[in-house]
Chains A and B, each alone.
Chain A
Amino acid sequence: MALSTTVSQRKMIRRKAPLGFLKRVFKRQKPHLRLKTSSDLLVHLNCLLFVHRLAEESRINACGSKCGIIKKEHVLAAAKVILKKSRG
């Protein structure tokens, strides 16, 4: 009831979630499964949080090695940790 009454002007979302991309990825991986409408957004949220954690970890690694730039090694090390965490 609420969203249907919004004006179209409001629909310009700055940080749009790539829902189409997510849906396509999921479909490609698991064609026999379906995604519900709201779960699309939650997947995006999950991705955001993963990326956030990864970035934090990489930054810590880079700062730990006294580097001003995030290098591949830092990201790699961070990814190992974070992927383990996000295994669920």
Chain B
Amino acid sequence: MGLCGCFTRVDLIRSIAIVGLNVAAGRRRLWIPKPLGKWAAEAMTDNFSPDSEPTTRTLLRRVLDTADPRTPRRARSTRSGAQRDLLETPSTRRQRSQTKMTARRRSHTAASVDRLAHVQASGHLEEQTPRTLLKNIILTAPESSIVKPEAVVKLVPSPQVVQPSRRESSRGSLELQLPELEPPTTLAPGLLAPGRRKQRLRLSEFQQGMDWGHLSQEPRENADASSLTSSLNLTFAMPLQPQSVKRPGLARRPPTRRVVDVGTFLQDLRDTSLAVAPPGESHRTPVATVPTDTVLEDTQPFSQPLAGHSPSVHHSLPCPSPSGAKEVEGPASRRTWSSGPGLQNNHSGPGKPAQLLARKVEEVEALAVGFPNISSISGEDGVEPLQNGVGEEAEESMEESMSVREVEKAAEEQGSARAEEPEGHTEVAEAAGSLGAIEAKEPEGSSEDEDPSASPKLAPSTPEFLRTRRLQSPEPAPPPSTAVLPSELPKRLSARIPPRPRIPGSRPRQDPYKAGLNHYAKLFSFYAKMPMEKKAVEMVEKCLDKYFQHLCDDLEVFAAHAGRKTVSPEDLELLLRRQGLVTDQVSLHVLVERHLPLEYRQLLIPCAFSGNSVFPTQ
């Protein structure tokens, strides 16, 4: 080949195919592989047809005209090359069909006549050269577009590639077709042709029965595609046809819908909701039981009093407190209760009575029951808000009156001074709660000194108090009784309990601090699993104090080292690592999982949730 010496026919065809692609895609810019660029330009300019657009057909014709009939490289499997060409040309032809046909047809018809003669002269395909194959394609290929409904269907002898069923769908799909077709299936074209013909015939026969005009071409083309093409291409056309063409009668039955019975539906809803609720609870309880084993273990030191108190408090009847202001103390008292039973926890006066109650279980139980009954006694208000806060079941006065009698009985039964102690304390507390700030100090003082000295002093006061209470219990009117009681109590208090030298300013600093330390001290006693002295507990608190100081210093250093003013979890991890708690064997997450409850674990350990989200975010 004089013109194209450095490249094979195959490359030429491919380039032309690409050109045709570009043309089909509407791109005016024709991209041609570089080695062929010059030649292509020449060819195009030289033999520029009257058509404005150099179509693939025209280009192909030019190739055939100009190119040497002798193929330069025979060694290269002509079959593969032919296959490629054959594979590509139908695609090019497809593109061609998509573009304007008229001019091409005109020009083609003139040439086709001549070519036909050549083909007929050549007769059979003795030489499966690209050239000959191309000639056959050009001559025998149908002019009309596949898109057109009334297409001239001609049997194409040469193997064709499968046509995608959706021609209009996408040139992109067509373009995809090309690379798909690229991997050559090295089958003998001779073998292919008959096979395809068979299939073609079969399908065409089938098609004859159908009136699907626009699909008439598809089966044929599909038949041509057959073994050569990948199943991918086939699937385009086949799914549609078999369903529609082969089984027109087997249309899908419309889904039968049962008429929804609203009544049964609602019933089911209720059943399911009921079913869900108990299992939910049952789920909760087993879950709860698992941690409770550890929880009970864990909170043994300080849960006991709580456990003792909660039922007592629940049993106690929070009667409507006469003064709403007292209820404000309720949360405060609750807070002190929860912060930990401790004599030193003196958030507020009313808080004291709560603590006192917390310390004495059995006695308080009996007394607490009686308290709300005696609404007239103002001292109860200290206890009432507490009870209101804890257990807000409103019970009737009947029960209250019952409990009054119980209280009396219990009070009588309690002969021991100890039993009377809490009574005295609670009474004192009651009074304190009612009186206010002044009384708050006194009961504080009383509670402070309760251990050593207050008890004997208060003991004699209790019978008096009880007597007064019994007298006043039938009386519903609060004011006179409140007036009476406070007058009695402060005298007694001032007489017996020396006023506590307490600076109000330092209290908030000490108490909650002690409360927190107490929390950890109790944990210490739990972890130790052995009885401890009180001094040892104090020692532990001192150690904790020192420990917190060290901790803050270290965290400050770490944060400063990182150039931050906020202590972050990274600093903490570093601290744990330096302390030797986090090692290469034991990671931070392991420790978190071991020692913290689920809610905190969830906050610390990142976990993936639905919707591709991770919490906590990293």
Contacts and interface: CB of A to CB of B under 8 A. Distances in A.
B460 interface: no
Contact of B536 (A47, A56, A72): A72
A83 to B, nearest CB: 6
Interface stretch (B40-48, B409-417, B598-606): B598-606
Interface in A56-83: 56, 58-59, 62, 68-72, 74-76, 79, 82-83
B523 A48 contact: yes
Q: Determine which residue in A14, A49, A69 has the highest number of CB atoms from chain B within 10 A of its CB, and name it.
A: A14
Given A2-B615, A21-B515, A46 B536 contact: no
Contacts of B550: 83, 86-88
B603 A25 contact: no
Nearest to B287: A10
A38 interface: yes
Contacts of A41: 596, 600, 603-604
B555 interface: yes
Given A2-B615, A11-B599, A29-B548, A36 B516 contact: no
Report whether over half of chain A's contact residues are helix, strand or loop; otherwise say mixed.
helix
Contacts of B531: 68-70
Contacts of B559: 33
Interface size class of B (residues with CB under 8 A): 35 or more
A32 B592 CA distance: 28
Interface string A8-25: 011101110110011011
B516 A69 contact: no
Interface string B522-554: 011111111111011011100110111111101
B581 A74 contact: no
A14 B527 CA distance: 17
Nearest to B609: A2
B547 A70 contact: no
B547 A33 contact: no
A56 B565 CA distance: 35
Interface in B568-608: 568-569, 571-573, 575-576, 578-581, 588, 591-592, 595-597, 599-600, 602-604, 607
B600 A17 contact: yes
Interface residues of A, number: 60
B615 A1 contact: yes
Contacts of B569: 36, 38-39, 42
Given A13-B597, A33-B556, A72 B533 contact: yes
B30 interface: no
B605 to A, nearest CB: 10
A52 B536 CA distance: 15
B513 interface: yes
B563 to A, nearest CB: 13
Given A49-B595, A51-B523, A76 B539 contact: yes
Contacts of B122: none
A20 B50 CA distance: 90
A83 B528 contact: no
Interface string B496-520: 0000000000000100110110011
Shortest beta-carbon contacts, A-B, top 9: A21-B516, A55-B527, A42-B572, A88-B578, A29-B552, A55-B528, A79-B543, A34-B566, A14-B295
Interface of A: 1-3, 9-11, 13-15, 17-18, 21-22, 24-26, 28-30, 32-39, 41-52, 54-56, 58-59, 62, 68-72, 74-76, 79, 82-83, 85-88
17 contacts: A11-B599, A14-B298, A21-B516, A25-B513, A33-B559, A41-B596, A42-B572, A47-B551, A49-B579, A49-B591, A49-B595, A52-B595, A58-B524, A59-B528, A70-B531, A75-B536, A83-B550
